Amino acid sequence: MRSYNTTDVLNIVPAGTVESLEQVSAGMSAILSLLEIESQHSESANDVRCLLVMVKTQLDQAMSQLCAAA
């Protein structure tokens, strides 16, 4: 498996990707807010919220690595 350095990644990632990821992250935040309310009444909603928090955290970390490399 080939490893990529920061310069390689920036050359591969299309322009506008960070902005798109920011929009996805904002949408996930809105969904998390709704799930927070629903999770007070539903254990399954809380389970989904916990999973989505982990996914959003990974997305935000990847986004900040892209921003730091730019």
Segments forming the whole domain that contains residue 34: 6-69
Q: What is the pTM of this model?
A: 0.74
Which band of pLDDT confidence, cut at 50, 70 and 90, is reported for residue 8? low
Is 10 in contact with 51 (CB distance < 8 Å)? no
**How many domains, the chain?**
1
**41 vs 62 pLDDT, higher one:** 41
37: tokens are 């309310």
* Tokens of residue 3, six digits: 């490893």
Residue 12 lies in a domain: yes
Is the model's pLDDT at 14 over the cut of 90? no
> 1 lies in a domain?
no
47-70 pLDDT per residue, tens = 999 999 999 999 999 888 877 766
